[in-house]
Chain A
């Protein structure tokens, strides 16, 4: 947990990559997050996060198929590394512990 930190946005993308399984490439991730977050995301933001996480070893990628709507260009498919899953788990458990420590939200 202490080595590499995940930004909030990066964490969302990482989870999206895992959720989408075989379909995880830039636009699919963006579509999924846009529908969940209900706001428009820029390709730049998504791509930056993907490249950064790839550098940090959270993601690996390989070329996928090319389609017509992409102007015949190939997709790049992303997969989360075991390390990424581990970090996600850890963050989740930290969060859950913190949630338990917080008094009931309604009484706040």
Chain B
């Protein structure tokens, strides 16, 4: 039997789609044309292909000219929308207090989020501007000893050269040197034809190739060869504008530190990107530079930050592994050549890593590179907090909307009785939410403008608002509307599902009030707030702990004079004149100062008589004078201080306790230790003092007599600081009329080391205040509604003889319970997070019980205060008012 094939028809669903979307007036013609065409196609194509063509053709019909026109037949809809907006507006005006709390809290939350979003966007934009950002890498020095890994970024001078010549996948390699000891960092800057000396920071020695790798933008000068000539110098746009206003700096000559024999010629002006880890102002060429004979081929010291650019196809993991052979081929050979077996052994602990340039800003937490950078953990912290604040604001929105439901119940009932569908009602309530969102939008813009300066200070950024950029306005508006829609969704469903009969009869099902959900939301809000409060207290406690910690030297009343090396031969005259001042207790010349930002020098030291049994100790070697220890109030615990009149003291050395320990000395006095310069005799042991941030411990350190003229330390008497400073200034002006004096205070420099801690504290406290403020606004409105609902109950209780006290307790205990639950939940969370944060510090405060108690009391007090206004008002009212209409 032959089965009769079903006659072909175009796909039904595509036809339905056409009918749904295409203007009815065109429909008959279009569908006819489509079908006729389908049968045309069947003559040439298979049935399946003709069907496919039909579907394709159907989609191509969806053009604006042919689509249904909404405006023709949806007038009822627009009418209803208009009505919805009108009702929403009336509702808004009716409960002004609640509306303003609802919208205000919402706007605060969104504004905070947007500010944080701008901060995060800025942080993420660092080092993203390179054309070949995937090919540029920073070489990381990895040193692993006893399972402990140290990472830093400096390498021996010849590394870049070797990398480029021996590894074909490396297209170019460039270096910079930023170590103060070699003349980078800060210098005295003078145009060679002028006398005026300026103090400038941000000097760096650099290869021309690094400019190419980092795609530095040249404003003038030849970007390919600016640094090819010895003694050439490139400066930043800002510094060019400062020192050469309305002049072309190219070709001008510069004298550094009054060393007129070596003049630099400016060969270029560059503009650095702000969002980059690479921030310097004066670029001195490395061309023709050798800091000591053979330095450029010396493999034993690490001074150069090294960057490479690899070919697009390079396998970076493989390259990293291939680079390890440099340790054997160059590091060890170099140590062997000078006969240092310990050095050779420790060289095997070295390794290489390659860090993508895009990671430098946010992912360099464990890498010691001397740069200021962001922290990806801070980004996470910020986004988490932003998220929480947004959730808190949204919760207020939901809470207040549902709490208000009883007032709206009869309206819902009536509308339903009149034939309104659930969908219509939802639309109505969502319209209200969107209206709130739209008002919040305006408020958000105002708040952002108002708080941006404060936020910039808080985050250490210079963010600006792209107020005129349409994308910014659109995205703010979009955020407001979307979030108000999302948070309006639950109340809309909840309110629109009331049953008309019950509501019209006045019976609202108590179970429907979702006490559970509302309590949960309150607990959530307060958990976040309490966590933030505890964190804030811990951060400030740590800050206090640091500032009050015994650091082993006396940081009070010490003036640091900067750039005293420019005095040249008059340095000692100046020192003597200072010492003659009545209020000056002592003066020391040394640029090695135990706070961040001053000269450091590290060496390896060995015990002289039993070389090999104790491993080399790496420590600081500081050049000081005999007044140094006294001026800084450091204690000699064994032996004696330097005496400049003893000739033998030029080869003497004072070590700190830590160094004595590491070298294994019981009685170090009279023992001998050596570094690359020679053998020295230990004459004293100084009590350990902190010379780096308290995030780390005290490292080995030793002091020798020597000249380091860049800074002077002046200990002044406590009671007359201002006059003394004036006298110091006058003395300076006498000795050096061409240059103004610069000084700072040791205790302030010490404090500056912990700016980031201070900032973290400020951030936490701001967010804590914000969170608790928004949460309390919610609680305030919520309690008001609850009290309003229970007004009859309160009236009856009052009539039956309850006191205000009873009523107060009745109304507040529920909320207090929730707040206490929040405290119980928040405590362990905050404890865990803050322990993580404190782990960064070698010296840290403890998270003691009093912190919890203080924050618990604070929260209970604040929330009680919030509720009590309403509760007392409810208790004090004349019960007749409440019961009159019964």
Contact B66–A51 (Cβ < 8 Å): yes
A48 part of interface (Cβ distance < 8 Å): yes
Which residues of chain A are within 8 angstroms of B66 by Cβ–Cβ distance?
44, 47-48, 51
Contact A27–B60 (Cβ < 8 Å): no
B851 part of interface (Cβ distance < 8 Å): no
Contact B32–A47 (Cβ < 8 Å): no
Query: Quick one: which of B1-47 are within 8 Å of A by CB?
Result: 26, 28-37, 39-40
Q: How many interface residues does B have (CB within 8 Å)?
A: 21
A71 part of interface (Cβ distance < 8 Å): yes
Of listed A31, A44, A45, A52, residue having the most chain B CB within 10 A: A44
- Measured as residues with beta carbon below 8 angstroms from the partner, the interface class of chain A is 20 to 34
Contact B32–A71 (Cβ < 8 Å): yes
A31 to chain B, nearest CB (A): 8
A63 to chain B, nearest CB (A): 8
Tell whether A47 pairs with B35 under 8 Å between CB atoms, given A26-B29, A76-B29.
no
Bound Cα distance from A80 to B62, whole angstroms: 25
Contact residue among B26, B31, B36, B60 (Cβ-Cβ distance under 8 Å from A42): B60
Which residues of chain B are within 8 angstroms of A43 by Cβ–Cβ distance?
30, 33-34, 37, 57, 60-61
Contact A27–B63 (Cβ < 8 Å): no
Query: Quick one: which of A32-53 are within 8 Å of B by CB?
Result: 42-45, 47-48, 51-52
Contact A44–B57 (Cβ < 8 Å): yes
Contact A42–B57 (Cβ < 8 Å): yes
Of listed A26, A27, A71, residue having the most chain B CB within 10 A: A71
Which residues of chain B are within 8 angstroms of A45 by Cβ–Cβ distance?
60
Contact residue among B33, B62, B65 (Cβ-Cβ distance under 8 Å from A26): B33
Q: How many pairs, one residue from A and one from B, have CB atoms within 8 Å of each other in the complex? A: 68
A3 part of interface (Cβ distance < 8 Å): no
Bound Cα distance from A27 to B32, whole angstroms: 9
Which residues of chain B are within 8 angstroms of A26 by Cβ–Cβ distance?
29-30, 33
**What per-residue 1/0 map shows which CB atoms of A49-85 lie under 8 Å from chain B?**
0011000000000000011011101111000000000
Contact A47–B30 (Cβ < 8 Å): yes
Of chain B, the residue at the smallest CB distance from A76 is: B29
Which residues of chain B are within 8 angstroms of A31 by Cβ–Cβ distance?
40
Which residues of chain A are within 8 angstroms of B35 by Cβ–Cβ distance?
69-71, 73
Contact A70–B36 (Cβ < 8 Å): yes
Which residues of chain B are within 8 angstroms of A42 by Cβ–Cβ distance?
56-57, 60-61
**What per-residue 1/0 map shows which CB atoms of A95-107 lie under 8 Å from chain B?**
0000000000000
**What per-residue 1/0 map shows which CB atoms of A1-41 lie under 8 Å from chain B?**
00000000000000000000000011100110000000000
Contact B33–A27 (Cβ < 8 Å): yes
7 A/B residue pairs, CB under 8 Å, sorted by A: A26-B33, A42-B56, A42-B60, A43-B37, A45-B60, A47-B30, A74-B32
Bound Cα distance from A84 to B737, whole angstroms: 91
Closest 5 CB pairs of A and B: A73-B32, A42-B60, A70-B32, A44-B60, A26-B33
Bound Cα distance from A75 to B36, whole angstroms: 10
Contact A69–B39 (Cβ < 8 Å): yes
**What per-residue 1/0 map shows which CB atoms of B461-483 lie under 8 Å from chain A?**
00000000000000000000000
Which residues of chain B are within 8 angstroms of A70 by Cβ–Cβ distance?
32-33, 35-36
Contact B63–A44 (Cβ < 8 Å): yes
B28 to chain A, nearest CB (A): 5
B669 to chain A, nearest CB (A): 98
Of chain B, the residue at the smallest CB distance from A68 is: B39
Contact A47–B31 (Cβ < 8 Å): no
Which residues of chain A are within 8 angstroms of B57 by Cβ–Cβ distance?
42-44
Contact A44–B62 (Cβ < 8 Å): yes
Bound Cα distance from A99 to B65, whole angstroms: 34
Bound Cα distance from A75 to B32, whole angstroms: 7
